[in-house]
Amino acid sequence: MDTIEKTDTCIFNTYARIPTVFVKGEGSTLWDDKGNRYTDFLAGIAVASLGHCHPAVTKAIADQAATLVHVSNIFYTEPQAELARLLVEKSFADKVFFANSGAEANEAAIKLARRYFKEKGNPDRFKIITMTQSFHGRTMATLSATGQDKIKNGFSPLVEGFVHCPFNDLDALKSLTDDSVCAVMMECVQGEGGVVPVDPAYIKAVRQLCDEKGILLIFDEVQTGMGRCGTLFAHELFDVKPDIMTLAKALGNGLPIGAMLANEEAAKGFALGSHATTFGGTPLVTRAALCVLEIISQPDFLKEVREKGAYLKEKLTSLMANHPYIKAVRGEGLLVGMEIDGDAGEIVTQSMKKGFILNAIQGKVLRFAPPLVITREEIDSLVTALDGLLE
Ligand SMILES: Cc1ncc(COP(=O)(O)O)c(C=O)c1O
């Protein structure tokens, strides 16, 4: 059996896979098993932000793999400690919990928000407001938090206590906030929902509302964080701080790591024994993530992301003049969506034939989330190819 047959025979059929087998990656380039070369405008869905097999990350992984891969979290290790210290230094947060994925980081955030109010003697305050079209993961609590029915289908009864509110609608949010709400949880740019950025005035008003009502504000930065939107964390674009933030995806540049960060006050929700995971924050993944964070957090690196993001958006927008079925181009930094009046999946298929990897979301949106090291020349080639394809 070849790779595709083995996969289709032995692995659950939960992914709509494209029949291509990748064997190698370097920077923004991927190669398949037939020797075809592709420029990657997806980066494993906003994961390989430093590009595939970045030499410094590869060295960090190799060195750490040869030194110490895992010990239990009942002991201390320096890579974990130093990554936490640097995340605290670079963010609003005072405390970090390490998990293994975005969903797990969000589980930790949900647990923290609920337990915070239990600890404060307010056990009836357990509801979490999330946004319609949001995506927070596939575990039972995070799919219950997710504002898309297709993610919940077949899994009832769901975890109770999640209320969905239209995104960017302050009046709707106000009408839902009462004494039973412990947190508002949202993305700064809805990724899976179709690359929909938050309204800057709205996000500020949400912070204000949460302050007035004593509600915790959770930003799910699993997709938008780690430089993707041109600042280390997307909320910096809006000059608003959350109480709790979650990270994953690009944090390990491909190694599985998630993190839940909280300010001192919100962090009071967890005490000894409140939460744990066997693999969270092992020396191997934290050493890799430390290397990633050191590179991505450099101001010059982030400036380049903003400039290249603006360049990509401008180039894609320029296609609108000749292609009327492009309805919108939107996003922040190098997380960009192009909404089309047509089948985005078909464009993904055709783009692959031309050597470009893209992704379609919600059927009608092309998502561009390339490695942050993508070059202007690579952007130019993609836009030229798209121009031809969209004919
Ligand atoms: C905003 C957001 N939150 C959470 C998740 C879930 O992350 P994971 O797939 O690592 O569990 C994703 C994944 O796409 C995401 O985009």
Tokens of 23: 């064997």
d(CA 82, CA 324): 51
| Low-confidence spans in the chain with pLDDT less than 70 | none
* 119-174 residue pLDDT tens: 999 999 999 999 999 999 999 999 999 999 999 999 999 999 999 999 999 999 99
For this structure, is 249 an active site residue? yes
Q: Which letter does DSSP use for residue 27 in this model?
A: B
How many angstroms is it from 331 CA to the middle of ligand 1? 17
For this structure, is 135 an active site residue? yes
Closest ligand 1 atom number to CA of residue 258: 10
Residues 6+ apart with CB under 8 A from 62: none
| Ligand 1 neighbourhood includes 192 CB (under 6 angstroms) | yes
Q: What pLDDT, on the 0 to 100 scale, is given for residue 240?
A: 98
Q: What pLDDT, on the 0 to 100 scale, is given for residue 391?
A: 82
**Closest Cα to atom 3, ligand 1: which residue?**
136
| Ligand 1 neighbourhood includes 107 CB (under 6 angstroms) | no
How many angstroms is it from 138 CA to the middle of ligand 1? 8
| Ligand 1 neighbourhood includes 102 CB (under 6 angstroms) | yes
Closest ligand 1 atom number to CA of residue 106: 4
Cα–Cα separations (whole angstroms), residue 188 to 167, 223, 234, 295, 362: 10, 9, 6, 23, 18
Strands of the sheet containing 29-32, edge to edge, are 22-26, 29-32, 37-40, 356-357
d(CA 270, CA 122): 15
| Ligand 1 neighbourhood includes 106 CB (under 6 angstroms) | yes
| Ligand 1 neighbourhood includes 101 CB (under 6 angstroms) | yes
d(CA 269, CA 287): 28
Q: What are phi and psi of 37, to 5 degrees?
A: -115, 140
Signed CA dihedral, 87, 93, 94, 97: sign only: negative
Identify the three-state secondary structure at position 49: coil
| Ligand 1 neighbourhood includes 47 CB (under 6 angstroms) | no
| Ligand 1 neighbourhood includes 109 CB (under 6 angstroms) | no
Q: Which domains does the chain have, with CATH numbers?
A: 3-53+299-389 (3.90.1150.10), 68-296 (3.40.640.10)
d(CA 92, CA 28): 31
Closest ligand 1 atom number to CA of residue 134: 1
How many angstroms is it from 135 CA to the middle of ligand 1? 7
How many angstroms is it from 107 CA to the middle of ligand 1? 11
- Angle between helices 299-318 and 283-296 in degrees, nearest 10: 70
- Residues facing 131 on adjacent strands: 165
Annotated catalytic residue, options 95, 127, 249, 308: 249
Instruction: Give the up-direction half-sphere exposure of residue 389: CA atoms within 13 A in the CB hemisphere.
Output: 23
CA 379 to chain centre: 22
Closest ligand 1 atom number to CA of residue 104: 11
Residues 6+ apart with CB under 8 A from 127: 161, 162, 163, 180, 181, 182
| Ligand 1 neighbourhood includes 359 CB (under 6 angstroms) | no
* 50-76 residue pLDDT tens: 999 999 999 999 999 999 999 999 999
Annotated catalytic residue, options 98, 117, 135, 270: 135
CA 120 to chain centre: 31
